[in-house]
Amino acid sequence: MSKLICGNIFLPMRRMPSHKAEMVSQALFGETIRVTDELTGWVKIETEFDGYSGWSDKNHLIHYEIPEGLQEFVLSRSLECITEAGTKLVVGPGSEIYEPDFQRKAFKAGDRLFSVIGEFNESFIIPEGQIHETALRFLNTPYLWGGRSIYGLDCSGFVQLVYKIHGVKIPRDAGKQAETGEVIGFVKDARPGDLAYFDDEKGRIVHVGMILPGNMIIHSSGYVRTDKLDHQGIFRLDINDYSHKLRVIKRVEGLTV
């Protein structure tokens, strides 16, 4: 079982080895992945960050060797850069880099060197402000089933990405996320950054969003948006009705910012 660094801006992970199969998640640039199986033209990969697995087109897999003894840093902002071969790319928040050199405006991803175009300082690896303020930077990002990048986010991928930027690891799927953390009994006792979970008529957790100040919530539903939240659920002013029924609010352990 080989370990590699994802060199794609993001790498789609599918439920089955087929382009028609459901995309269940994505590996982000710089994340460590393990190749656990292989079929003709496809590899099954597992992301080390959250243990999620899926099938990826082998031809789409760009990978770098893992550096020894180096610490990875999580990007808090998008970064435009250029490879040694002269290829330009935009690396999004939540991606992982090694050896950031702010003076030389360069970093490594695995064993490859990248030059940064434009500004590069500590604010790119140290999030500024509180976690809900980071979440607000993703407003209007389109919804994408299985997405966890700036190019498209599903509801659980959105909150997982924001928490990753702030140094906290939570599960990939909303159902698993809801099993962690401290229960907050009432909306009035919630604080910005807490996670609210919503269920369907069968009691299954089907949606998640992040609490904002002023009885508001930010969540990915069609796109990343803000709406009102009360003890019943999410109330959308545009339809003058509730869109999601509140099940539970959880406070995530380990959050310091």
Q: Looking at residue 156, what is its pLDDT?
A: 99
Residues 106 and 114: beta-carbon distance below 8 Å: yes
Per-domain boundaries in the chain: 1-126, 131-251
Summarised one tens digit per residue, pLDDT across range 33-88 is 999 999 999 999 999 999 999 999 999 888 888 878 888 899 999 999 999 889 99
The Cα 228–Cα 232 span in angstroms is: 11
Predicted TM-score (pTM) of this structure? 0.95
Query: How far, in whole angstroms, is CA 216 from its chain's centroid?
Result: 21
Q: Can you give the three-state secondary structure of the chain, one letter per residue?
A: CEEEEECCCEEEEECCCCCCCCEEEEEECCCEEEEEEEECCEEEEEECCCCCEEEEEHHHCCEECCCCCCCEEECCCCEEEEECCCCEEEECCCCEEEEEECCCCEEEECCEEEEECCCCCHHHCCCCCCHHHHHHCCCCCEECCCCEECCEECHHHHHHHHHHHCCCCCCCCHHHHCCCCEEECCHHHCCCCCEEEEECCCCCEEEEEEEECCCEEEEEECEEEEEEECCCEEEECCCCEEEEEEEEEEECCCCCC
The Cα 115–Cα 83 span in angstroms is: 7
| Angle, CA 242 vertex, CA 133 and CA 151 arms, to 5° | 45
**Fold identical between 1-126 and 131-251?**
no
Give the CATH superfamily of 1-126.
SH3 Domains (2.30.30.40)
Fold of 131-251: endopeptidase fold (from Nostoc punctiforme) (3.90.1720)
- Backbone CA torsion sign across 224, 188, 132, 70: negative
Summarised one tens digit per residue, pLDDT across range 184-226 is 999 999 999 999 999 999 999 999 999 999 999 999 999 999 9
Region for 203 from its dihedrals, namely left if φ exceeds 0, alpha if ψ lies in -120 to 50, beta otherwise = left
The mean predicted confidence, pLDDT, of the chain is 95
Residues 91 and 9: beta-carbon distance below 8 Å: yes
